[in-house]
Structure 1
Amino acid sequence: MLNLQQTNIRCTTETMIYKPPIEARVLKLEEENVGTTNELYELQVEIDMLKIKIQHLENLVIGDNK
């Protein structure tokens, strides 16, 4: 007979649900973390560029013309 604990499958009365091994779940979370970190870096670069543009516009408004 099939041992459900060995196959990483949980049974409910309605359906059978596949539960990936912990290593696969950890790998997926690590990949998502890298993606999130990259997105945050890109946003920081955009913020820095906007700060420079704002500073330039402020200089134009006060007549510094830099």
Structure 2
Amino acid sequence: MTKEAAKRGGPAALRYFYLGQGVIIGGALTSSAIAGTVAYDKWSKRRAAAETATEAAASERPLTPRPAQ
């Protein structure tokens, strides 16, 4: 770890480097979570619309009479 700290410019520079890496990783995780939420919202709205369309089409079908017994 001391070699890495020396390579980065000292212990403080090493800490700042890893803090910066954490910010980058945190930003990537946050953006992927937001993208996932947006995708799920779109998917659920499409699914609800498809179910509504299916129910509407089913209600428009004429009922077939049962044969007399």
Query: Same fold per TM (> 0.5)?
Result: yes
Bigger Rg, structure 1 or 2? 2
Structure 1 segments, 4+ long, off by >6 Å, are: none
- Which is richer in helix? 2
Residue 24 (1) aligns with residue 41 (2):
no
Percent identity for Structure 1 against Structure 2: 8
What are the superposed Cα offsets for residues 1-59 of structure 1, whole Å, 9 maximum, x if unpaired? xxxxxxx61xxxxxxx5245111101101111011100110111000000110111110
Report the Cα distance in structure 2 between the residues aligned to 1:34 and 1:18, rounded to whole angstroms.
25
Structure 2 residue 53 is the aligned partner of structure 1 residue 60: yes
Partners in 2 of 1:62 and 1:35 — Cα distance? Answer: 40
Q: How does 1:1-66 map to 2 (within 5 A)?
A: 9=2, 17-19=3-5, 21-63=14-56
When you count strand as a share of all residues, which structure comes out higher?
Answer: 1
Give the deviation of 1:61 after TM superposition. 1.4
Q: Which amino acid aligns with 1:24?
A: F
- What 5-or-longer segments of structure 2 have no aligned partner? 9-13, 58-69
Structure 1 gaps of 5+ residues are 1-7, 10-16
Partner of 2:62: none
